[in-house]
Amino acid sequence: SQELEQSPQSLIVQEGKNLTINCTSSKTLYGLYWYKQKYGEGLIFLMMLQKGGEEKSHEKITAKLDEKKQQSSLHITASQPSHAGIYLCGALRGGTSYGKLTFGQGTILTVHP
Amino acid sequence: DADVTQTPRNRITKTGKRIMLECSQTKGHDRMYWYRQDPGLGLRLIYYSFDVKDINKGEISDGYSVSRQAQAKFSLSLESAIPNQTALYFCATSGSGGLETQYFGPGTRLLVL
State pLDDT tens for residues A80-102: 999 999 999 999 876 666 678 89
What chain A residue is nearest to B47 in terms of C-alpha separation? Answer: A100
Chain B residues within 8 A of A42 when measuring between CB atoms: 4, 90, 104-107
Q: Which of B50, B101, B104 sits opposite A42 (nearest CB)?
A: B104
Per-residue confidence (pLDDT) for residue A41, from 0 to 100: 83
Which SS3 state, helix, strand or coil, does residue B72 take?
coil
pLDDT band at A28 (very low <50, low <70, confident <90, very high): confident
Strand pairing report for B73-78 and B64-70: antiparallel
Taking CA atoms, B9 is separated from A59, B37, B70, B108, in Å, by 30, 14, 21, 4
pLDDT bracket for residue A67 (50, 70, 90)? confident
Strands A85-92 and A31-37: antiparallel
Q: ∠ CA A101-A71-A78 to the nearest 5 degrees?
A: 100
CB A40 within 8 A of CB B109: yes
How many angstroms separate the CA atoms of B58 and A74, rounded? 28
Nearest by CB to residue B99, choosing from A2, A41, A48, is: A48
User: What integer is the mean pLDDT of A41-56?
Assistant: 88
Three-state SS at A97: helix
β-bridge mates for residue A84, sequence order: none
Q: How far is A68 from chain B (nearest CA, A)?
A: 20
Q: Considering only CA atoms, which of B43, B13, B24, B34 is closest in space to residue B110?
A: B13
pLDDT score for A96: 60
Residues 6 or more apart in contact with residue A36 via CB below 8 angstroms: A43, A44, A46, A85, A86, A87, A88
What is chain A's mean pLDDT, rounded? 90
The residue of B6, B10, B34, B43 whose CB has the most chain A CBs within 10 angstroms, and thus the best one to mutate to test that interface, is: B43
* CA pair distance B85, B50, nearest whole angstrom: 25
Helix extents (H) in chain B: none
Evaluate the CA torsion angle A48, A53, A57, A63 in order and state its sign: positive
- The confidence band for B1, taking pLDDT boundaries of 50, 70 and 90, is low
The per-residue pLDDT for A95 is 65
Q: What was the pLDDT predicted at A40?
A: 74
